[in-house]
């Protein structure tokens, strides 16, 4: 059975590499805006499952790993910014506040039709940011590729406090290990 990562994310590839997995990358290209839900945890789960299923339907005898990640603040979901100006506004909004990273994970076995999914959260308290450091960060990083305009480097740079681990690889590795083992993968 082949393992497929339904994502082009370098962070997610790093997670699978860390587990010494042999895998292929097949991006789902799933329209993330096609699914909406008022509960961010449910939304992350639904999006992850949809991505895994989209790839699993066209690849037989595969174990498909998919994930979705976004940031929430004041009951609002922050996905990838459309441009650098939007990224700057997001980071200004987060300055001095606590945000939550929501991460969904799905593992779909196309042979058995079994879907395993879970969500994980990570709370990050941003310290007060100054405009010059926000501008510097946005000018040096591809922020339009990051949910909420920041990646793990941004967390290290901006965080005052971190509770949780999902931000590190863009998927909850601890839960992925259990899902892989449940599907007979030695990890």
> Could you list the active site residues?
68
The closest of 134, 185, 143, 141 to 3, measured between CA atoms, is 185
Contact predicate 56/108, CB 8 Å: yes
Residues 6+ apart with CB under 8 A from 5: 12, 13, 16, 23, 24, 25, 26, 65, 66
């Amino acid at each position: 059975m082949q393992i497929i990562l339904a994502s082009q994310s370098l962070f997610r590839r790093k997670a699978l590499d860390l587990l010494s997995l042999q895998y292929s990358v097949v991006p789902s290209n799933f329209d993330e805006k096609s699914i909406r839900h008022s509960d961010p945890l449910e939304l992350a789960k639904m999006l992850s499952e949809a991505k895994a299923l989209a790839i699993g339907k066209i690849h037989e005898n595969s174990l498909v790993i998919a994930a979705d990640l976004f940031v929430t603040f004041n009951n609002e979901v922050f996905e990838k910014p459309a441009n650098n100006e939007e990224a700057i506004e997001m980071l200004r909004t987060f300055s001095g506040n606590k945000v939550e990273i929501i991460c969904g994970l799905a593992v779909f076995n196309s042979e058995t039709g079994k879907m395993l999914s879970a969500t994980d959260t990570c709370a990050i308290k941003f310290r007060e940011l100054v405009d010059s450091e926000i501008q510097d960060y946005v000018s040096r990083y591809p922020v339009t590729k990051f949910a909420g305009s920041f990646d793990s480097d941004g967390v290290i740079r901006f965080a005052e406090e971190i509770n949780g681990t999902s931000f590190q690889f863009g998927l909850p590795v601890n839960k992925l290990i259990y899902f892989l083992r449940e599907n007979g993968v030695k990890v």
